[in-house]
Amino acid sequence: MSSILNSKSPVVIKSLAKKYDSDGSNTINSFELGNLISDMGFTVSKTQVDALLMLIDKDASGSINIDEFVQWWTQTKITDVLNNQNTMHLITEASKLFKKYDVDGSRKLKQNEVTNLLRDLAQCDSTNSVKDMIASLDRTGDQEIDFHEFCVWLRWF
Ligand SMILES: [Ca+2]
Ligand SMILES: [Ca+2]
Ligand SMILES: [Ca+2]
């Protein structure tokens, strides 16, 4: 497993993802990701697995497809993230905060959800500044803030 941990070969990583895709859906869900991480020798809670899933799930579909998994694996020092209690804590806290304001559970913050977030943080609350903020953070062009865009804004990790 340790050689796989350091592998950056898409072929190797793809086969790893397929191995853990136990229901054959071509996506990795929270349960499957949890199995993979614990087989790598890391102890993570269900909450932490869910937070990692949000991080890996770039298109905010709710699950990790093979491409998202390969992208994450090749771009991240997995062991550094999983070994670092502080990083794991911040990822988990960021996901809790995001979910708190994603009231409709769409895995994206739309304008009224961002408005609530900014009002609670006493940052700003006029419609224009909310729109400006969304425009400046929205990299995907959907006028909503996904978890990645949210994490870029937080700058916690
Ligand atoms: Ca996805
Ligand atoms: Ca939402
Ligand atoms: Ca967006």
Distance 31 CA to ligand 3 centre (A): 26
CATH topology agreement for domains 1-83 and 84-157 = yes
Res. 5 pLDDT band, cuts 50 70 90: confident
Name the closest ligand to CA 110: 2
| Cα gap 55→132, rounded to integer Å | 24
Distance 124 CA to ligand 1 centre (A): 31
Distance 79 CA to ligand 1 centre (A): 22
* Mean pLDDT value of segment 107-111: 97
What DSSP line would sit under 36-105, residue for residue? HHHHTT----HHHHHHHHHHH-TT-SSSEEHHHHHHHHHHS-HHHHHH-HHHHHHHHHHHHHHHHH-TT-
| Cα gap 145→35, rounded to integer Å | 29
What pLDDT digit, counting tens, does each position of 42-69 carry?
A: 999 999 999 999 999 999 999 999 999 9
Res. 28 pLDDT band, cuts 50 70 90: very high
Name the closest ligand to CA 134: 3
CATH number for region 1-83: 1.10.238.10
Domain locations in the chain?
A: 1-83, 84-157
Four-way CATH pick for 84-157: 3.40.30.10, 1.10.10.60, 1.10.238.10, 3.30.70.20: 1.10.238.10
Q: Which residues surround ligand 1, an ion (CB under 5 A)?
A: 57, 59, 61
Distance 67 CA to ligand 2 centre (A): 24
Q: 3 to each of 39, 55, 69, how far by Cα in Å?
A: 13, 23, 17
* Mean pLDDT value of segment 131-153: 96
Q: What is the pLDDT of residue 123?
A: 66
Q: What is the pLDDT of residue 109?
A: 98
